[in-house]
Amino acid sequence: MDISILILSAGAGTRMKSTLPKVLHKISGKEMIYYVIQEAKKITNNINIVLYHQSELIKDVILKYFDDINIVIQDHKNYPGTGGALKNINFENSKILLLNGDMPLIQADELKQFFEIDADIVMSVIKLDNPDGYGRVVIENDKVKKIVEQKDSNKDELKIQNVNAGIYLFKKEILKRYLPKINNNNTQKEYYLTDIIEFCVKDNKIIKPLFVKEENFKGVNSKFDLANAEQIMQNKIKKNFMLNGVTMRLPNTIYIESSVEIESESILENGVTLLGNSKIINSYIKTNSIIEDGEIINSEVGPMARVRPESFLKNSKIGNFVEIKKSNLNAVKAGHLSYIGDSEIDENTNIGAGVITCNYDGKNKYKTKIGKNVFIGSDSQLIAPITIEDNTMVASGTTLTQDVKEGELAISREKQKNIKGFFKKFFN
């Protein structure tokens, strides 16, 4: 499409009250700016981002995800404000869509409506019961006549419920012609982009409002807004999965980050947390379990289990208070209270209650390898590095320090002594 996108992200974001730049605050696992760029890329390849405050930090995050974004630094000292942000930018295409880095809920599909309207400027408008904080939009005969910033509004203007959502589609000539005319004669001593509207109205240019939904055009200015945006994003993510056949018990208690994948008829009970690049295929995740970057196929997890990064479970069953880290379980059962780290465990193996792989000696991490048809008795400690071959048993309470060969039983217990009459003697 013959469209350039410009994303404004140079503001100080003071209302966030944070040392982290506003657009780097995360919702559903990713920085806000990530979502804006992601949606923008569905529209055009020509994406420009304006930065100034903490630009290096923001740039690093953008480069982590994308390599084809044009970064521009605003001359903020001389030209502060949303109008100043557009100074000296050369646009490649004949129309410019302006987005904000603090609007993480925008959807490319909805942005496409802008291109269906023929006007010199199309601007997004939301009707709000409480318009507080936004620029007010005066509309007459379906045309925008004026935008006044809250800080510059009189009593009557403050009552206007139509507000500027901050997204616009401009014809390039309009920006070229009117940007140089904007000045900073206002309460905030800033160059307001919204002043362009006044010049255009004077010259009989056509400015059309596009009424949009608040849930997709919400701007994040504070931590309170951030929490609201998170809620909206979570609702979207979970609705999508449910419509694709995932069962959720009490979805309001479930948290799923945006890069998680869930396939087939998986079931998530209340309190489940799925993070990072986790992949859940045809599995049952029970109450209050947490999966971080794990892959779970045809398996049952929890209640109250934790699967940490680089873990892969297939046809397996892990129960309460079992923690798995960087391990590969293929048709394994570990029902209760275990730590399994840096391990490979093969088919038909049973891990008893309270088994611990001792994978760390204070300096390095070591691997545990357990074969097929192995029975590890409860409360055993497997001191890694260690290999337990197929068809073997480890007796309960064993501290395993040597490899176990095919067919063997390993046992490392003290022989039990029973002392007659001890109780009576002791308590007299």
Q: Which residues are part of the catalytic machinery?
A: 336
Give the nearer residue to Mg ion in terms of CB position, either 117 or 227: 227
At 383, list the tokens. Answer: 């001191």
Tell me the C-alpha to C-alpha distance, in Å, between residue 211 and each of 117, 159, 278, 318: 12, 18, 37, 50
CA distances from 367 to 144, 384, 385 (A): 67, 6, 5
Q: Which of 3, 27, 32, 85 binds ligand UD1 (CB under 6 A)?
A: 85
Cβ–Cβ under 8 Å, residues 199 and 90: no
Q: Which one of 36-44, 216-224, 261-269, 290-298 is the stretch in contact with Mg ion (CB under 5 A)?
A: 216-224
Per-residue binder mask for ligand UD1 (CB under 6 A), 130-149, x = binder: ----xx-----------x-x
Note whether 29 and 275 are within 8 A (CB): yes
Which of 3, 4, 6, 11 is in the footprint of ligand UD1 by CB under 6 A? 11
- As given in the structure block, the two tokens for residue 139 are 């509309």
Residue 396 interacts with which of Mg ion, ligand UD1, none, CB < 5 to 8 Å by class:
none
Contact 278, 261 (CB under 8 A): yes
Kindly give the interhelix angle for 32-40 and 55-65, rounded to the nearest 10 degrees.
50
Q: How far is CA 121 from the centre of its chain?
A: 33
219 binds Mg ion (CB under 5 A): yes
Among ligand UD1, Mg ion, none, the one that 11 touches (CB under a kind-dependent 5 to 8 A) is ligand UD1
The rounded distance, in Å, linking the Cα atoms of 381 and 384 is: 9
By CB under 5 A, which span of 177-185, 217-225, 237-245, 313-321 interacts with Mg ion?
Answer: 217-225
Site for ligand UD1 in 16-55 (CB under 6 A): 50
Q: How far is C-alpha 200 from the geometric centre of its chain's CA atoms? A: 40
Q: Which is nearer to Mg ion, 221 or 287 (CB)?
A: 221
Cβ closer to Mg ion: 104 or 219? 219
Q: Which positions touch ligand UD1 (CB under 6 A)?
A: 8-11, 50, 74, 76, 80-82, 84-85, 100-102, 134-135, 147, 149, 163-166, 192-194, 219, 221
Q: Which positions touch Mg ion (CB under 5 A)?
A: 219, 221
